[in-house]
Copies of this chain bind each other. A is one copy, B any other.
Amino acid sequence: MFELHPRLAADTLAVGRLPLCRLQLMNDARYPWLILVPERAGLREIHQLPPAERAQLIEEISACSQALEAVSRADKINVGALGNLVPQLHVHVIARRAGDAAWPGPVWGQGVAEPWDEAARSALLAALRERLGGLLR
């Protein structure tokens, strides 16, 4: 049975469910940063998904990228599936801005997360939910 990895559960806030993935927001106000976790038990690598679910995964990545880009005025979207520390397959979709805390390097392992305050988080989640529309349960 699928369960969100405890490390991901500790670092993120629930956004909702997409057809394939659990959608979480990283609790780090330095970057608007989504995490997509396919709700399949025991997955570690993208290529372990069957082809139809891989196609669904990249559609969900694209929808989240477009939503983040629209609501955050990002200069670049970063997409990554690393999993060197947390083995459960999860995909990062991160809105990057020129001059942000890690720019132009990758965000992973840089500095310390700054938790969202409630008002900014609520506003971001409402804007994302509106953009994602019917895709999000």
Contacts and interface: CB of A to CB of B under 8 A. Distances in A.
A82 B69 CA distance: 14
Given A54-B59, A58-B54, A58-B55, A44 B76 contact: yes
Given A44-B76, A79-B46, A84 B105 contact: yes
How large, as a class, is the contact surface on chain A? 20 to 34
A122 interface: no
A2 interface: no
Interface string A76-112: 1111111111000000000010000001111011000
B83 A58 contact: no
A92 to B, nearest CB: 9
A65 interface: yes
Nearest to A62: B47
B51 A59 contact: yes
A61 B84 contact: no
A18 B93 CA distance: 25
* Chain B CB within 10 A, most for which of A47, A65, A80, A105: A47
15 contacts: A45-B65, A45-B69, A46-B58, A46-B62, A46-B65, A47-B69, A55-B58, A57-B58, A79-B80, A80-B82, A80-B106, A82-B106, A84-B105, A105-B109, A106-B106
